[in-house]
A and B are shown apart, each in its own frame.
Chain A
Amino acid sequence: MFKPGKPSVFFLYGMFFMSMLLILFQCTKSDDPLFDQYKTTELELNIDYAGIKKAGNETEALLLQGDVDALNENLVDDVQSVYKQQNAMYSSEELTAIANAFKKRKLVFATEDFAEYSYKIDGTEYTLTLGQVEEGVWKIIRY
Chain B
Amino acid sequence: MKKGISFIMGALFTLVVYAVISGYGNTVIHRGLNGMMINKFESYFINGLAPFDRLKNYNILLKSSREYPGEAITKADYFDAKTSQEKFTAAKWIQEGGFSADEPEIFASFRHFYDPLEPAGERYLKNHLDELDAKGIVNQPKIDHLNWALDHPMHEYNWKNGKTAIISALSTFDEEFRDHEMAFAYRALGETLHMIADMGCPAHVRDDAHASKSIAGYKLGSPDAYEEYSEFFNLSNFDITLVDPTLKTSFQSAETLSEIAHKLAVYTNANFFTGQTIYGYDKDGDLVEPIIHADDPYEQPRLGDCTYDLVTLSYNKTISGQTVMMCKDHYYSRFYKGYPYIDRDCAESQARVLFPQIVEAGANVIRLFTPQLEVKISEFSDEDKFIKGLVKHLPDKEYNREIKYNGKVNIVDVKSGKPIIWVECIDGEFEAEIRRWDFRNVDWKKGITAEIQFGSFTVKSNPYLNIERGLVENIDIELRMDEALVQIKHDAGTVETFKGYNAKYYQPYDNRGALTQSGNSLTFVYNETDTYEDAGSNKVNEANINININLNPAKNSLSFTASNFYKTTKTFAGETEIQHQTNESASHDNVPMTESSGNYEIYELTGKRVEEVMVSYHGIDHELWDKEETLLNNNCGKDAKLRITIRYATDEE
Interface residues of A (CB under 8 A from B): 5, 7-19, 22, 29, 32-35, 37-45, 47, 76-79, 81-83, 85-86, 89-91, 94, 97-98, 107-111, 113-114, 116, 121, 124, 126-127, 129, 131-135, 141-142
Asked whether B352 is an interface residue with its Cβ less than 8 Å from the other chain, the reply is: no
Does B4 touch A at the CB level, under 8 Å?
yes
- B74 CB → nearest A CB, Å: 9
**Nearest residue in B to A141 (C-beta to C-beta)?**
B222
Give 27 pairs: A residue, B residue, CB < 8 Å, sorted on A.
A7-B2, A7-B5, A8-B6, A10-B2, A10-B7, A16-B10, A18-B11, A35-B27, A37-B64, A40-B28, A40-B32, A40-B95, A43-B28, A44-B76, A78-B276, A79-B339, A86-B339, A89-B335, A91-B335, A109-B232, A111-B223, A111-B231, A124-B332, A133-B212, A133-B219, A141-B223, A142-B341
Q: How far is the CA of A83 from the CA of B333 in the complex (A)?
A: 13
A36 to B23, CA, bound (A): 20
User: Quick check: is B432 within 8 A (CB to CB) of the other chain?
Assistant: no
Given contacts A12-B10, A45-B21, 20 further A-B contacts (CB under 8 A): A10-B3, A11-B13, A15-B11, A17-B10, A18-B11, A18-B15, A18-B18, A22-B18, A33-B236, A34-B35, A34-B39, A44-B76, A79-B339, A86-B333, A86-B338, A89-B335, A90-B335, A111-B228, A141-B223, A142-B338
Q: Determine if B7 and A14 form an interchain contact, defined as CB atoms under 8 angstroms apart.
A: yes
**Also in contact, A13 and B10, with CB within 8 A (given A41-B99, A43-B27):** yes
B85 adjacent to chain A (CB < 8 Å): no
| A5: chain B residues within 8 A (beta carbon) | 3
B interface, how many residues as a size bin? 35 or more
Which residues of B (315-368) have their CB < 8 Å from a CB of A? 330-336, 338-339, 341, 343-344
- On chain B, the residues within 8 Å of A79 by CB distance are 222, 276, 291, 339
Q: How far is the CA of A85 from the CA of B14 in the complex (A)?
A: 41
Residue numbers in B under 8 Å from A34 (CB-CB)? 32, 35-36, 39, 235-236
Asked if residues B213 and A135 are in contact (CB atoms below 8 Å), the reply is: yes
- Measured between beta carbons, the chain B residues less than 8 angstroms from A44 are 75-76
Known: A41-B28, A86-B336, A116-B344. A126 touches B331 (CB 8 A): yes
Shortest CB-to-CB span from B227 to chain A, Å, is 9
Q: Is the CB of B91 within 8 A of A37?
A: yes
Chain B, 210-237, CB within 8 A of any chain A CB = 212-214, 217, 219, 221-223, 225, 228-229, 231-232, 235-236
* B20 close to chain A: CB less than 8 A: yes
Residue B92 interfacial (CB < 8 Å): yes
Asked whether A114 and B223 contact (CB < 8 A) given A7-B3, A11-B10, A38-B92, the answer is yes
**Contact A41 B331, beta carbon cutoff 8 Å:** no
* Shortest Cβ gap from A40 to chain B (Å): 5
Complex Cα spacing A126 to B164, Å: 53
Q: A10: which of B4, B64, B95, B236 is its contact (CB, 8 Å)?
A: B4
Cβ contacts under 8 Å, B341 to chain A: 142
Closest CB pairs A-B (n = 3): A14-B10, A89-B336, A113-B212
Asked if B89 is at the interface (CB within 8 A of a chain A CB), the reply is: yes
C-alpha gap A78/B292 in the complex (Å): 8
Contacts of A89 in B (CB 8 A): 333, 335-336
A101 to chain B, nearest CB (A): 8
